[in-house]
Amino acid sequence: MIAAGPPGRVLVAGAGGFIGGHLTRALVAAGREVRGVDIKPLDAWYQHGAGVEEIVGDLAAREVSAAAVQDIDVVYNLASDMGGMGFIATQKLACMLSVLINTHLVTAAAAAGASRYFYASSACVYAEEHQNTTAGPALVEADAYPAMPEDGYGWEKLFSERMCRHVSEELGLETRVARYHNVYGPHGAWIGGREKAPAEIARKIATAELTGEHEIEVWGDGHQTRSFTYIDDCLEGTLRVTAGEWRDPVNVGSSELVTINQLVDLLADIAGISVSRQHDLSKPQGVRGRNSDNTLIQARYGWEPTTTLRAGLTRAYAWIREQVAADLART
């Protein structure tokens, strides 16, 4: 991983979340002084970094955002109300209300004299017309316009991207935007409805391995295609983008495309079992196909994610299996 992104005192918004927790620990390890803010109570944070100034607060409130950015040089905004497809398909209002977090935080950061601001966007901003087939072309950054993103969550992300752009143009704060593609790894949501596909399927495979009941439910027909980005690659991409000079949004995502059925097969192979699957076509499935075109990030940063899906899932599965085993032991 590169050293630590831009210099200065850092705020991580959403520090109690999956990516925010990993980012906080990486910045601390690199010697940065870090303040972390999250709406969740401290005992619900996924990770804690040694020496981090940890604050519980709702950044959707203007006064909380204003206080959070005082004496801060670099802001990483990863705070939002989100989850996997089961959450964003049914909680569109909650997703949209996250515009308040970024709106208040980026304007407060500009007013407080921060030097740089990173916003974590999503591949959900891309227009649906480019994602209607399983074998469609990988998404380039220009495919976000004309705009027709994922309803709710995607619109919130696209609006917030524009907010960053205009704050930069009119208030002078250097803003950077990365569009994440399906980030996964240990120390994140794996149960409860907010988990994403790799964690959800890993939980089902781990349960099958540990209980001997080898039939699992798969949402949709399993032919949907996705690419999945391991957390370490997400962190490196985040730090590179934040420190770089490219001002427009850029994909941070793996380009290793797989079907959901292939994801199931790979996790079952890692677990050393075979499973049968029951496909539930009534569950939310999202777009038919989505993959990251990495031409721009390669050209601007000389880099793209390098962790193979097997390598990343092996690490993630080991952690999720531990959580499932502990959960089963309590029941």
Q: Is the dihedral of CA 52, 311, 86, 226 positive or negative?
A: positive
CA angle 21, 27, 29 (to 5 degrees): 105
Residue whose C-alpha is closest to residue 192's, from 182, 181, 179, 203: 203
Report CA Rg, the chain: 19
Distance CA 125, CA 248 (A): 14
Instruction: Assign domain 10-184+228-252 one CATH number from 3.40.50.720, 3.90.79.10, 3.40.50.2300, 3.30.450.40.
Output: 3.40.50.720
pLDDT for the residue numbered 83: 86
Q: Which residues are catalytic?
A: 153
Distance CA 72, CA 250 (A): 24
pLDDT per residue over 79-109, tens digit each? 999 888 889 889 999 999 999 999 999 999 9
Are 83 and 195 in contact, with CB atoms under 8 Å apart?
yes
Does the pTM of the predicted model rise above 0.85? yes
Are 28 and 51 in contact, with CB atoms under 8 Å apart?
yes
pLDDT for the residue numbered 265: 98
pLDDT for the residue numbered 2: 58
Query: Between the CA of residue 42 and those of 21, 23, 27, 57, what are the distances in Å?
Result: 12, 17, 19, 10
Domain boundaries, the chain: 10-184+228-252, 197-226+257-296+307-330
Structure tokens at 254: 């793996």
Residues of the chain with pLDDT below 50 are: none
Overall fold of domain 197-226+257-296+307-330: UDP-galactose 4-epimerase; domain 1 (3.90.25)
